[in-house]
Amino acid sequence: MQIQIAIDGPVGAGKSTIAKECAGRLGIVYMDTGALYRAIGVWCKENGTDAYDEDAVAAVLPKIALEIKLISGVQRIIINSGDITDRIRTPDASMLASKVSSYGAVRTFLLDLQRDFAAKNSVIMDGRDIGTVILPNADVKIFLAADPRERAKRRYDELIAKGSDVNFDDVLADLEKRDRDDSSRTHAPLKQADDAILLDTTGYTFDESVERIMEIIKTRF
Ligand code: DC
C-alpha cells in the first residue's frame, strides 16, 4: 500500500527534521519540496537569470531538466546533470526560493514532478502546499506551527552550527518576510488545508514533536 503524508507549515517550524525522523521510523521516503524551489532560485542566479524577474524565470524553465535522486535514502537535486544540493541552504537561497515559488509557471513546472514522486514512493512530503494542492488526497495532513521567535531561534542555531556569520534579528526579519510573502502570494499560498491537523510545537522538544506526529499518523493506519 502506498502511503502519502503531507506536512506543511511556515519557515523553521521543524518540518524537515521531524519529517525525516518520522519517515525513517516508518521506513518510507522523505521528500523536501522546498529544495526544488531553492534549486531553481540558485540555478537562475548561477546562470545569469534574474530570479526577481518573473518573465525571465518563466522563459528559462524549458532549459531546466530537474531530477530528484535518492542516494542512500537521501534526496539530491540534480539540474542539467549537475548536483546542486550542497549550494541551496544559504540565507540568499532561502530568499531566492521564496521569490521564484511565487511564480505560477514555476509551481506548474514542479507540480507533476512532485505528484509522480509521491505516486511511485510511500512518502512524507514537507512544504507549503502539499496538503492543499500537491497531494489533496493525502492519507494524513499535518500543519506544523510554532511561535516566530522560537522558529527564528531554531533557524539561527542551525546556521551558527554550520559556521554562518548571522545575527538573530536578521534571521527573525528574514523569516517573517518569507512567511508574509509565502502566505500572501496568489499561487498556492502557505495555508492549512481544511482537513489538516494543526500541531503547534512551541515549547516542544524535537522528540516530543516527533512523538506527537507519530501518534497522529498511527491513528490513521
Ligand atoms: O521549506 P524551505 O524553507 O526550504 O522552502 C523554501 C521556499 O520555497 C519557501 O520560502 C517557500 C517555497 N516553498 C513553496 O512555495 N512550496 C513548497 N511546497 C515548499 C517551499
* Per-residue pLDDT tens digits for 13-29: 999 999 999 999 999 99
Q: Which residue is listed with cell 531554531?
A: 154
Name the residue with the closest Cα to ligand 1, atom 5: 34
Structural Rg of the chain based on CA atoms: 17
For residue 1, pLDDT beyond 80: no
- Best residue among 114, 182, 187, 191 to mutate for probing ligand 1's pocket (most ligand atoms within 8 Å of CB) is 182
Between CA 107 and CA 58 the distance in angstroms is 10
**Residue 221 lies inside a defined structural domain of this protein:** no
Distance from the alpha carbon of residue 27 to the mean position of ligand 1, in angstroms: 24
> What residues line ligand 1, using a CB cutoff of 6 Å?
11, 33-34, 37-38, 94, 97-98, 101, 127-130, 178, 182
**Residue 149 lies inside a defined structural domain of this protein:** yes
Between CA 133 and CA 177 the distance in angstroms is 23
- Cβ-based burial of 120 (10 A; exposed 0-12, middle 13-18, buried ≥19): exposed
- Cβ-based burial of 201 (10 A; exposed 0-12, middle 13-18, buried ≥19): buried
CATH assignment at residue 122: 3.40.50.300
Average pLDDT over residues 32-49: 98
**pLDDT value for 6:** 98
User: Mean pLDDT, the chain, as a whole number?
Assistant: 96
Between CA 77 and CA 99 the distance in angstroms is 19
List the one residue out of 112, 121, 88, 125 whose CA is nearest residue 2.
Answer: 121
Average pLDDT over residues 130-144: 98
Average pLDDT over residues 50-62: 98
- Best residue among 20, 128, 177 to mutate for probing ligand 1's pocket (most ligand atoms within 8 Å of CB) is 128
**Residue 43 lies inside a defined structural domain of this protein:** yes
**Residue 33 lies inside a defined structural domain of this protein:** yes
Between CA 82 and CA 192 the distance in angstroms is 34
**Residue 67 lies inside a defined structural domain of this protein:** yes
**Residue 68 lies inside a defined structural domain of this protein:** yes
**pLDDT value for 73:** 84
Atom of ligand 1 nearest to the CA of 8: 18
**Residue 172 lies inside a defined structural domain of this protein:** yes
Name the residue with the closest Cα to ligand 1, atom 13: 34
Distance from the alpha carbon of residue 67 to the mean position of ligand 1, in angstroms: 17
> In the structure, what pLDDT confidence band is assigned to residue 174 with cuts at 50, 70 and 90?
very high
**Pairing status of strand 74-79 against strand 66-71:** antiparallel
- Best residue among 98, 113, 181 to mutate for probing ligand 1's pocket (most ligand atoms within 8 Å of CB) is 98
Between CA 189 and CA 170 the distance in angstroms is 24
Domain that holds residue 99: 4-215
Name the residue with the closest Cα to ligand 1, atom 2: 34
**Residue 137 lies inside a defined structural domain of this protein:** yes
**pLDDT value for 210:** 98
Q: Which residues contact 45 (CB under 8 A, 6 or more apart)?
A: 51, 92, 96
**pLDDT value for 4:** 98
Distance from the alpha carbon of residue 127 to the mean position of ligand 1, in angstroms: 6
For residue 221, pLDDT beyond 90: no
The tally of domains found in the chain comes to 1
For residue 72, pLDDT beyond 90: no
